[in-house]
Amino acid sequence: MNTTYIVRSVVAVAAVSILGSCGIYKKYETPTSTPLTKEYAEALTQTPDSTALGNLSWQTLFTDPKLANLIESALANNTNLRNAQLNVEVAQANVLGARLSYLPYVALAPNGAAASYAGSDLSWTYQLPAQLSWEIDIFGKLLNSKRGAKAALLKSEAYSSAVRSQIIAGVANTYYAIAAVRQQLNLSRNTAALWKETVQTMRDLKEGGRGVTEAAVVQSAANYYSILASITDLETTLDQLNNTMSLLQNTLPQEWDVTDRVDLSVPEVLYSGIPMAELALRPDVAAAEQDLAAAYYATASARAAFYPGLSISVAGGFTNLLGSFIKNPGDWFYQLAGSLTAPLFSRGQNIARLKASKVQQQQAMNNFEYALLNAASEVNDALTVYAKSREKSALLVEQVANLEKSVEYTRDLMLYSTGSTSYLEVLTAQQGLLNAQINQITTELARARSIINLYQALGGGR
């Protein structure tokens, strides 16, 4: 078998392999196999609306100076965000490594030895060789590795953006929660002072023979101690919220200065449906797609493992060992070689790897579709809470106004009438007013949180 025949055979094998491996060079494309992913792919081609809620900068939405300072501090100091940014640097290093894999491998391995035979003088041999080897990526192994590393980098960047969005929303939610609990505390303390006066009034009426019994006195006292107990719960909640803010700021626990009341105003939110164009910009959705892209390239790499590998190596250097002779001084030498290695049987490893890669790619596809559905669900939930909290807030304003009148009327009737109003009516009116006022603050907090959650759900703050 002559050399020409061998070369022709190698070339023929390579040509057939290339024709059968066209699929391993194809770049990842956003899937359109389902109505959901098709709508997503179409949304990616649209020009983003800069006025949409999710595309506004967080400084435009959160204009409270105290809140803005806390958000800036958290973005600068938060440990989770730092780690996410470090993961981006790791991915960048992996991309660099994948790019450099196209370059040749160079090694220098000098060596020397001495030998003596039958009492002769030592004979020294030495080599100063340099070796260069280069893998020719004719079957896309290095290409898919580089593309996979790039997808991993984009995923890390998207995850970092998602963490940034979460921190902004977390600081804003905690900020307004602290404000709401402080409002409830002030309200409860002021109400406790009024209820304490009611207890004393009941005692005075009883002692004055105005128809108030001991039962009325102890019942009003029980209400008073009840609100004192609720104040301790609010103080505990406030302490926990301050601790949460401290963690977000990456600092030791402390009290935080916030606004006096929950007051977050935004542009009118009008959505007739789930805006896919904005969901497509969510960083967690982008991360899920890049995870799918990485799985796609992993499958392509697994396919490429079935095809031959072509490598060229060059060795050269200075030596005094030429064949079986020792020459002093030495001389230069060089070697050139090429090899084409085709896998025939690898104990099923390539087959198993390809099957596993296909399964993992399907898992990534499922996760990507779920990320889209979850994003739509979060937007829908936030929109519903926003709309209903606005309706509820308007109703509570009317309820509180009427209950304030009820407390005033029943108290006056008890003090100045001849017994047409019982102490139970007074206590019931007072309790109803407090509950409505607490509910009013809670509803305002729910409305503010719905705006914050909607902003995050639409990819805001990325």
Q: What is the pLDDT of residue 117?
A: 65
Residue 158 CA to residue 150 CA, distance in Å, equals 12
Tokens of residue 261, six digits:
């009341």
Q: Which residue has the tokens 């008890």?
A: 414
The pLDDT value given to residue 149: 84
Q: Tell me, what's the pLDDT at 246?
A: 93
Phi and psi angles of residue 190, each rounded to the nearest 5 degrees, phi first: -65, -40
What is the distance between the alpha carbons of residues 97 and 189, in angstroms, rounded to a whole number? 64
State the Rg of the chain over Cα.
38
Query: pTM of whole model > 0.85?
Result: no
- For residue 461, count other CB atoms closer than 10 A to its CB: 26
CA 181 to each of CA 171, 193, 265, 439, 445: distance values in angstroms, whole numbers, following the listed order: 15, 18, 19, 12, 9
What is the C-alpha separation between 259 and 263, in angstroms, rounded?
Answer: 8
pLDDT in tens, the chain (462 residues): 444 544 444 444 444 444 445 567 788 888 888 899 898 888 888 887 777 888 888 898 888 899 999 999 998 888 887 887 777 778 778 777 766 666 666 776 676 666 666 666 666 666 666 676 767 667 777 787 888 888 888 888 888 888 888 899 989 999 999 999 999 999 999 888 888 888 887 787 777 776 667 777 888 888 889 889 999 999 999 999 999 999 999 889 999 888 887 777 665 655 656 778 888 888 999 999 999 999 988 888 888 777 777 677 777 666 666 665 666 666 666 666 666 565 656 667 878 888 888 899 899 999 999 999 999 888 888 888 888 888 888 898 888 888 888 888 777 777 666 554 566 777 788 888 888 888 888 888 888 888 888 888 888 887
Which letter, b or e, does each residue of 387-416 get, where b requires 16 or more Cβ atoms within 10 Å of its Cβ?
eebeebeeebeebbeebeebbeebbebbee
pLDDT of residue 420: 43
pLDDT for the residue numbered 430? 83
Tell me the per-residue pLDDT of 109-119, one tens digit each, with 9 for 90 and over.
Answer: 676 666 666 66
Instruction: Write out the two tokens for 311.
Output: 């490598």
What pLDDT sits at residue 205?
75
Torsional sign, CA 199, 202, 208, 213: negative
Check residue 214 and give its pLDDT.
78
pLDDT for 422 equals 64
Phi-psi bin for 164: left (phi > 0), alpha (psi -120 to 50), beta? alpha
Angle between helix 79-100 and 141-207 (nearest 10) = 170
